[in-house]
Structure formats: structure tokens, C-alpha cells
Structure 1
Amino acid sequence: MVSKNNDDYMLNDVITDILLRLPVKSLVGLKCVCKYWSTLIRNSSFISKHFHHHSNIGHLGVQHYDYSTEKYNFALFRNETVTNSSVEYHNLGDFQMPTQPGILGTFHGIISLYDRNRIASWNPAIREFKVLRIPEPEVPDFSYIFSHFSGFGLDPKTNNNKVVRIWEYGEQNDGVEFDRVAAVYNLYADSWRLFEVNLPPINEVHDSLSNTYMNGFYYSMTYYHDILILAFDMDKEILGHIPGPPLPKYN
């Protein structure tokens, strides 16, 4: 005899399979049906499965300047023709600004945006946009934060998106041997965790020109006497480093 608990599990599997086949517009409304459905649709594992389901097609995202509002905005085209009839404009709420926001990366349909002081998570499929509350790092007295950089990637073991943020500080901006403090944000848990940074003497870390995440690691470049590649492990939440190529003799 099948127990009630097993019946519940079977029913949940059927519900999940049905929801995976629905278009994103339907999912937006179904989040209001019950708490279970709302939690399921927001779950990182469900988002990943829905993103890769054969019934779903890709979209083209275009960042542009809106002269009517004098702010940068995004348009999402639903087919390859890039016509006005297939476009959806997205209001990015508090993140709309005159200065152009950068894109940290995009995984499983979730896009991470940033400017100098803000980071946001945007899921255009279910029309959820969230500005992350970046924690204030604690630094010693008479020290100043001179720079910071951020990275966005995917924890391959949990299918969960994460943001890493590293601040560089010191008593004077002499460009030599900054101290560092760091934190990692777990998108599904909606929480930050501070962690220790243990690196050899290096100069300022450079922001990546584009998303440099691959196979569970986010990479950034720095140098002091030689080029050094920083590698943040999205699973273990550890910042390591590997030697870079030989530094050219010229600037």
C-alpha cells in the first residue's frame, strides 16, 4: 500500500514536471497560487531545469539608453527577428540610473548588474528584480577603502548563484600591498558571509572586462612583480591564486 507521504511526493513531481513546461508569463501568475508553488518557482534548481527545458527558447537582451527618461534600460526580444512586436522593456526599479550599469554575468536566466556602489539580481523570466544590500566591511582605524571588485558565478553543486565582493584598504593609497576583506552572497539564502582573504603581496585587483566565470570559479587579474590570477571557488567559497603569464618588459 502506498503511503500518503509517497502520494505527496508523486504529486509534487507531477506538479514540477507540468510547471517546467509552462511559459514564464504563466509562472509569474502561478507564484500566487500557494506558498509551495511560489517557493518552487523561485528555487535555483527549478530555475536551472526550466532554463534548459526543450520547450523554452532563448531571448536576446539589449542594454540601451532611453532618451525619454534619460536613463539606461534593458529590452528583451522574444525571437531572432529583433522586431518591435517581440520586445519587452523592463523597468529596473531603483537601479535605473543615468550612468551605464555593468553586467557581472548571467547564468540560468538570472542576470547580475552592478555600478560602483550597488549590485542587483534580475530574473526577467519571472520579473523579479532585487538590489542586494552590500555589507559595510570593518577595517582598522585610520584605514581607508581605496577600491573593490565583484564577481558573479554559479555553485555547480547546488545550482545556486553567488556574488563575491572584495574590498582593498590601507592607511595610504600608495598602490602597494593593500589589505583586503571579503564577503560572498548566496542568492537563494539571501545572505552575506564574510571570509578571510589570504594572498601574497599584490597590487590593485583589476575588474574583468567581461564575465570571467568558468567551471565553478570566478577569475580576476592582479600583479605586483608578476601577473597573478585570482580564482574564487564558488563551492568552497575560498579565494586562491595561480601564476599568470610572464609580464612583458614594456608597459
Structure 2
Amino acid sequence: MVSTVSEPNNPFLPGDVIVNILKRLPVKSLMRFQCVCKDWKNLIKSSSFIQDHLHHSSHQNPSLFLRWHNSIRMQFGLLDGDCDKEVLEVENAPLTNLFFARIVGSSNGLLCVEASENDTYPFPLLLWNPVIREVRKVRRRTIIDFELDDLLGFGFSQVDNDYKIVRIKVPEYQFVANPMEVYSLNSGSWKVIEFDNLEGVAIRSHRNVTVNGVMFWIGGKQGLDDDYSLILSFDLSKEVWTVIPMPDLNYYDKIRLIEYENRLVVLAGFFGEEKSYLIHLWVVEEDRCSSGERWIWTKIFTSSPFPPKLDPVTIWRNEIVFCPFYQSDYGVSTPILYTLNLITNEFKRFPIRSSQNDRINMKIFSYVESLVSFDNINIEDVAS
């Protein structure tokens, strides 16, 4: 609770009202407001307020994080809820002249980024809060040698109150090999995880998503290159694997695993009648019913027809977001963002505006602004 003082003829605001107002403000404003008084500074830096602000931002003001090339280097930007506004370019990126940058994952305002200013491998791993401009390097002195094709994932385990990076060795043919490694931000170290229940299982995509402390990959049976019948899940707290069957997705393509309303959702494209293209959303629940089935899939959405060239990447504010398309006018290439509303089934398109005209290979990720700081985490700061 923030203490308040009432003076004659001066307005009075109770502490809980101040908290309720401040938690609705953007992080950039809150960083400035720490200078108002000592009480406000202590409040904004407190763990309880950081969690309240994060909860509000996650539900009321999610953002999109963008990564793109220009003619000189890679850059980053944020797109908030007002699609008419231009991209807010991120200042003070962790490396100034990036040769390579790949966003491994996003959780609670923290990004895990594989980034480098040269072509020397292994590329450094960074944990970065772009809004409050904090960054930490992750030690890569691990037991297992890093390889270029290793799978990486990043997520938060609420049970452990810990952010974790998962690294999986993927030999030829994309089957999952033993062992794997998990990095804990709390301990600042890697540890090897042994498992024996994924024999004959292959991972089909480097894309993954973390939902409620569980990391998910699209998988299939080893040796069947066109088999996408499985989902591989790794519980970040229990550190165990589970194999989940996919819904019946015969004749589907562009299969994606996405978080929606705090649940795992399978998004799958489908060619319908008269060359129309549809998207279906499936949600899974674990329930052993009388038939013996453990995993129950339910289709929760079917889109109206849309152009098959669009590639869905995430869900943002009840809208499916597609990878930007580029429109050229008078020699200037402008990214066009397409969205599909899950409630109204309405398509929208708008240009992504920024001060940069030469934006190439733009990638989009779900993101939420937060005050989460490495000072608020029990972390051992280690150099690469």
C-alpha cells in the first residue's frame, strides 16, 4: 500500500487508488514516475506491483514484437494495440550491429535471443527486457557441445518461479536424441536431463510455444517425413516429456502451435471447396473418459475463406496475425499486416509504418511489456 498525505485544500487519493491507476500505465511512463517520490519508487520496484502490472498488461494490453533487417543491420520494434500507430523502434538493443539475431522465445516481457555481431558460432544467448533496457548474457559453457541445428526454447515455470532455456540435440532426420540440457535463470547454470520415452519420435519444426510452464513442439513418427501426428511436451518444473496425439489433421497444412486464452491451441489451414482456404482452431483437454481416451480435442473456430498465401504466426487480441506481406509502391516496399478476428471472422489489413523504409524479412512475436527485472530475480550474473 502506498502511503498518502492529505493537506488542507489539496486533493487526496488513497494508496489503493494510486496503485490501481499506476498499474494501467505503460512501462516507459512508470520508469519516469519513479522520480516523483520515494514511495512511488519503492512501489514500482516492488514484486507485488510488478506482478499486478504484468497481469494487467497480459490481459488488457498485449503487444507484438517485431524483428527485421534494414540495409545495414537487424532492428527491433513494438506494435501496441492501436494498429494505426507506427512501430515504436526499440532503442539500445543488446548488440549494436547485429550479423545474426533469432528470438528463441518470449515470456513475461523477457526475450531470449540468440544474437551475434559476427559469423562465429556458437552465437551468444541473451536474456533481454527491451522496455526497461536490461540484458544478461547466458553462459554457454555446457557439458554438451553446441551445434548449429540444436533446438532452443524459452519459458517461465510458475511452480519454480524460474525462467528456463531448453536445448535439445537433434541429430540427422530430426529425431529427439538423449540427453538434453536446461538452463535455470535462478541458478545461472545448465544441467543435463536424461529421458527414455521418446524413442522413434521426431521433431518436425524449430517453432515451439510455452503454455503454463509446459513447452510444446510439433512431432511425428521417426522415418515418416510427412507425419505430423504428435505433439511433444516438456514440463519445465517436473522436467519430463509427454507425447500427445494431434487431432485428426489429414489434408491440413500450415500447422501451428499457439497459445490462446492461456491454453494450447492447434491452428491448421485447410483447402476447402472451390479452392477456398480455411483455418481451424483446436483446443485440447486431458480427461480419461469412458472410451479410454486421455486427450480430448475440440474444434473451437472455423474461419471464412481467405487467400492461401497468408501464413499465420500468432494470436493477438483475439485476432490471428499473419506474416507480413510486402507491397511495393514507387520503389518503396511496405510490410502489410493481415489479421483475422476470431469473434467477427473479419479480415483486416494495414501497413506497418515506421521511420525505416527498407525493412526486410520481418518476423512477428507475441509480447507483453513488463517491469520484470533481473534485480527481481534470484540470478547469478554470468558472462558468456
Measure the CA separation in 1 of the matches of 2:212 and 2:233.
11
Q: Which amino acid letter does the alignment assign opposite residue 236 of structure 1?
A: K
1:90 match: secondary structure? coil
Q: Which residue of structure 1 lines up, in the alignment, with residue 143 of structure 2? A: 137
Q: Which among 178, 181, 196 is matched to residue 180 of structure 1?
A: 178
Q: Which among 215, 221, 237 is matched to residue 212 of structure 2?
A: 215
Q: Which among 132, 148, 151 is matched to residue 149 of structure 1?
A: 151
Measure the CA separation in 2 of the matches of 1:236 and 1:190.
19
Measure the CA separation in 2 of the matches of 1:63 and 1:42.
31
Measure the CA separation in 2 of the matches of 1:223 and 1:247.
15
Q: Is the contact between residue 142 and residue 190 of structure 2 (CA under 8 Å) also seen in structure 1?
A: no
Matches within 5 A, 1:86-165: 87-94=88-95, 96-99=97-100, 101-114=101-114, 117-138=123-144, 147-165=149-167
Q: Which amino acid letter does the alignment assign opposite residue 62 of structure 1?
A: L
Measure the CA separation in 2 of the matches of 1:177 and 1:23.
43
1:195 paired to 2:197 = no
Measure the CA separation in 2 of the matches of 1:161 and 1:118.
17
Label 1:145 to 1:248 Cα distance change in 2 as closer, same or farther (>3 A): farther
Measure the CA separation in 1 of the matches of 2:221 and 2:212.
23
Give unpaired runs (5+ residues) of structure 1.
Answer: 1-8
Label 1:232 to 1:135 Cα distance change in 2 as closer, same or farther (>3 A): farther
Q: Which residue of structure 2 lines up, in the alignment, with residue 24 of structure 1? A: 27
Q: CA deviation at 1:184?
A: 1.4
Q: Is the contact between residue 119 and residue 131 of structure 1 (CA under 8 Å) also seen in structure 2?
A: yes
Q: Is the contact between residue 95 and residue 131 of structure 1 (CA under 8 Å) also seen in structure 2?
A: no
Q: Which residue of structure 2 lines up, in the alignment, with residue 80 of structure 1? A: 82
Deviations 1:128-153 (A, max 9, x none): 122322343347xxxx9684211122
Deviations 1:214-238 (A, max 9, x none): 2321112243156443211022122
Q: Taking structure 1 as the reference length, what is the TM-score of the superposition? A: 0.64
Measure the CA separation in 1 of the matches of 2:111 and 2:92.
14
Q: Which among 61, 65, 78 is matched to residue 61 of structure 1?
A: 65
Q: Is the contact between residue 54 and residue 108 of structure 2 (CA under 8 Å) also seen in structure 1?
A: yes
Measure the CA separation in 1 of the matches of 2:85 and 2:2.
43
Measure the CA separation in 2 of the matches of 1:176 and 1:213.
20
Aligned pair count? 221
Q: Taking structure 2 as the reference length, what is the TM-score of the superposition? A: 0.45
Q: Which residue of structure 1 lines up, in the alignment, with residue 54 of structure 2? A: 51
Q: Which amino acid letter does the alignment assign opposite residue 82 of structure 2?
A: E
Measure the CA separation in 2 of the matches of 1:96 and 1:158.
36
Q: Is the contact between residue 27 and residue 126 of structure 1 (CA under 8 Å) also seen in structure 2?
A: no
Deviations 1:21-41 (A, max 9, x none): 77523655759x99xx89x94
Percent identity, please: 26
Measure the CA separation in 1 of the matches of 2:45 and 2:113.
22
Q: Which residue of structure 2 lines up, in the alignment, with residue 4 of structure 1? A: none
Q: Which residue of structure 1 lines up, in the alignment, with residue 239 of structure 2? A: 237
Deviations 1:180-199 (A, max 9, x none): 22121223443322221323
More RCO (CA 8 Å, sep 6+): 2
Label 1:188 to 1:50 Cα distance change in 2 as closer, same or farther (>3 A): farther
Measure the CA separation in 2 of the matches of 1:102 and 1:245.
30
Label 1:148 to 1:75 Cα distance change in 2 as closer, same or farther (>3 A): same
What CA RMSD, in Å, does the superposition of the two structures yield over aligned residues? 4.3
Q: Which residue of structure 2 lines up, in the alignment, with residue 6 of structure 1? A: none
Measure the CA separation in 2 of the matches of 1:103 and 1:114.
6
Label 1:79 to 1:230 Cα distance change in 2 as closer, same or farther (>3 A): closer
Q: For the pair shown, which has the larger CA radius of gyration, 1 or 2?
A: 2
Greater share of residues in strand: 2
2:75 match: secondary structure? strand
Q: Is the contact between residue 174 and residue 204 of structure 2 (CA under 8 Å) also seen in structure 1?
A: no
Measure the CA separation in 2 of the matches of 1:146 and 1:57.
36
Measure the CA separation in 1 of the matches of 2:80 and 2:177.
46
Give unpaired runs (5+ residues) of structure 2.
Answer: 4-14, 116-121, 252-384
